[in-house]
Amino acid sequence: MIKSMTGFGRHRAAENGYDVLCEVKSVNSRYLDTTVKTGRSYVALEERIKQFAANRFSRGKLDIYVGIDKTAGENAGITPDEAFIDRYVKQLRDVKKRWKLSGRVSVSDIAARGESFCFKHEDEDMELVWASVLPVLEKAFDSFAAMREREGEKLAEDLLGHLSALEAMRESIARRAPAAVAENNEKMKARIKELLEGADYDESRLLTECAVFADKADISEELARLGSHFSQFRIIIGENAPVGRKLDFLVQEMNREVNTIGSKANDGEIAKLVIEAKSTVEKIREQIQNVE
């Protein structure tokens, strides 16, 4: 069953002394376009996360956030940023003096500013960090994939509804086509006889020209190919694999056949059906842009 390129997944868990949060969301994209954000200390993991995503998805613009906090603090050190504190205290005193304010600069004033302290960790084992991140990543992506599948089911239902409408239009055109060709032939013969009234002409040659015109206006091949495209569409939409590009190509071919039918069939009733069919093909094309 087809999958949507729109989805969201989230999971959080504590693993090996790390509190890990993973969020992933995606929107339409012609190709796979992945952006990963982690803390500065864990930038080295971003390529692994991108590769993990590439192994599971083939299309979509993915935004992945992975937050990693160390819950075990024995390797963490907190030191004051003396340069920042000096500047901050001086600025507070200058403000107090200039505007003649009361009060004193306290420790709580300094502690309220996160920039007052530096948090330092000893070198971490990235393999251990990755081992902590991977299970959380997997569960977030499972949730993300499940949402894409649910959205895909809705897309499939909508696409098949449009396809059924197209099949009905094709049948109506096929029923009308023989009568349209016959009517056009009679109109053409009557018009030619009117123009040649009183003149000598070859009746057999006239019939031959009408037959040639009828052959040029024949849309049976286009209708047959259109029916084949419809059958192929139903097969592809049921495949358990990324099919967005296949469907996009197939819809282009559908549109080509509908346009040819419209240009060949010189008939008002068929022209109305062709306009309706082109509108429906366009609706399918728009929906397919969100199929993985």
pLDDT tens figures, 97-106: 888 778 787 8
Per-residue pLDDT tens for 227-246?
999 999 999 998 988 999 99
Q: Contact, 234 vs 160, CB < 8 A?
A: yes
Structure-token pair, residue 245 = 């590009």
Sorted by where each begins, the domain ranges of the chain are 7-73+125-148, 76-121, 150-288
| 3-state DSSP assignment of residue 263 | helix
pLDDT given at position 92 = 82
Comparison of pLDDT for 230 and 179, the residue scoring more: 230
Q: Residues 107, 80: contact at Cβ < 8 Å? A: no
Q: In the chain, where does DSSP find H-type helix?
A: 46-56, 82-98, 107-111, 126-195, 203-216, 220-237, 244-264, 268-288
Residue 170 near residue 223, CB atoms below 8 Å: yes
Report residue 13: phi and psi, to 5°.
-165, 160
pLDDT category of residue 189 using cuts at 50, 70 and 90? low
Q: How far is CA 12 from CA 47, 53, 130, in A?
A: 21, 18, 15
- The predicted pLDDT at position 118 comes to 67
Confidence at residue 81, expressed as pLDDT on a 0 to 100 scale: 80
**Whole-number mean pLDDT of the chain?**
86
